Amino acid sequence: MTAAPRICVFGAGSIGCYVGGRLLASGAAVSFVGRARLAREIAAHGFRLSDYRGLDVYVPPAKVAFRETPQAAADADLVLVTVKAAATADAGRELAQVLRPGTVVISLQNGLGNDDLLRAALPGCTVLTGMVPFNVVQGGDGAFHQGTEGDLAVARHDALSPFLPLFDSAGLPLQLHDDMRAVQWAKLLLNLNNAVNALSGRPLREELSQRAYRRCLALAQREALGLLDAAGIRPAKLTPLPVHWIPGALELPDFLFRILFGRMLRIDPLARSSMWEDLEAGRTTEVEWLNGEVVRLATKLGRPAPVNAQLLALVHAAEQGGRRDWPGTGLLGELQAPR
C-alpha cells in the first residue's frame, strides 16, 4: 500500500461516527456510510467529539464525506462495519457489490457471529473480529460522547499493519488478540447490563450505584457464567477482577462497593447504554444479540436461562411501549420470581 490508507465506516451511528470521527480528526482519510437523518445532521453541524477525560474535538461539515449509499466504500482499504447486528447480513450483501478483493473489514459490533456472516458474504476480503468496549452517546447536532473507558480490540493479523499508526494517532490504539471469541464473550458478560440499564431508565452511573440494579446484573452474569463453564468456554479477562468474581462484587452493599470497587463507578454522568438509546429513539434493540445469546447457549446445552430470558422478554415489551422505569427492587423481584 503506497498511498495513504483509505477508511470507510459502514453503518455510521453512535460508535461509527465517534470512532471514524476521531480517525478523521487526526488526519486519516475517512468516509462514512449511514442513514439519511445522520447525513443531514452531519452536513449541518459536522462532528463534535468528546469523552469522559475532557476531550473536545470539532470537525467541520466540509471535511466530512458522509453518504447514504454503499458505493462510498468502493475505494476503501479498510472498512469498519458498525451496523446493528440485525443488519449484518444486509451489510454483507451490499458490501459484496462494491469492495475490492483484499479489502480489510473489521466487525465492530455487539454480539457473536457477525464476523462469520461478513466472512461468508465477502470471501475475497480479510474479515476480522473486533470489539468496542466503551459507550458512546449521541447528543444531537453532530455531538458524540464517549462516556466509559476501554481500548478497541481486534483479532491479530498482518493485514492490520498499515492501519495501526492511524488508530494510534487518533488516540484509539488497537489491542490485538489471538482469541477474539473469548474477548467477545467477556464483553457480552459486561453488556448484559445494557438490558438492566435500559429498563431502569437511569444513567449508567446512577444505575450501577444502586445495589438492587447491580444484583440484577449479577444474576444475569452468574447464569451466563454457569452456561459458559458447561460449554467449556473461558471468557477473556478484560477488567481488573477475574470474570467469575464480578457477580460477587456487584452484590456488595453500596458503601462497600464504593470503597472496594469505586473505579467501576468512574463513569461519565452522561453515559447510558446503547439499548436505552435505541428504546428512546423507538428503534429495535440488540437484546437478541446480548441476553439472547445466553438464552441460545442454554438451549444448545439443554439448560434453562430464566434470568436472561426474562430480561429479553422485558426489553421486547419495552420496544412495544412497555415499562422502562423499573425501580431496582421491582426489577430484581421480576428476575427472581419462579418460572
pLDDT tens sequence for the chain (339 residues): 557 899 999 999 999 999 999 999 999 999 999 999 999 999 999 999 999 889 999 999 999 999 999 999 999 999 999 999 999 999 999 999 999 999 999 999 999 999 999 999 999 999 999 999 998 988 899 999 998 888 999 999 999 999 999 999 999 999 999 999 999 999 999 999 999 999 999 999 999 999 999 999 999 999 999 999 999 999 998 888 899 999 999 999 999 998 888 777 677 887 889 999 999 999 999 999 999 999 999 999 999 999 999 999 999 999 999 999 999 999 999 999 987
Q: Which of 178, 207, 241 finishes a domain?
A: 178
Strand partners of residue 154: 130, 176
Q: Is residue 216 one of the residues assigned to a domain? A: yes
**HSE of 205, CA atoms in CB hemisphere, 13 A:** 13
Q: At 259, which CATH number?
A: 1.10.1040.10
Q: Are residues 197 and 329 in the same domain?
A: yes
Q: Is residue 129 one of the residues assigned to a domain? A: yes
Domain count, the chain: 2
Q: Are residues 219 and 262 in the same domain?
A: yes
Q: Are residues 129 and 14 in the same domain?
A: yes
CA 225 to mean position of chain CA atoms = 20
Rounded to whole angstroms, the Cα distance separating 293 from 75 reads 35
How much is the pLDDT for 260? 84
pTM summary value: 0.90
Tell me the backbone φ, ψ of residue 224, rounded to 5 degrees: -65, -40
Question: What is the sign, positive or negative, of the torsion defined by CA atoms of 278, 279, 281, 282?
Answer: positive
Q: Are residues 71 and 187 in the same domain?
A: no
Q: At 17, which CATH number?
A: 3.40.50.720
Q: Are residues 142 and 205 in the same domain?
A: no
Q: Are residues 330 and 231 in the same domain?
A: yes
Structural domain for 274, as ranges: 183-336
Q: Is residue 156 one of the residues assigned to a domain? A: yes
Q: Are residues 113 and 198 in the same domain?
A: no
Q: Which of 178, 212, 247 finishes a domain?
A: 178
Q: Is residue 1 one of the residues assigned to a domain? A: no
Q: Is residue 135 one of the residues assigned to a domain? A: yes
Q: Are residues 140 and 283 in the same domain?
A: no
- Return the closest-CA partner of residue 276 out of 288, 287, 260: 287
Q: Are residues 117 and 197 in the same domain?
A: no
Rounded to whole angstroms, the Cα distance separating 271 from 267 reads 7
Q: Is residue 77 one of the residues assigned to a domain? A: yes
Q: Are residues 174 and 187 in the same domain?
A: no
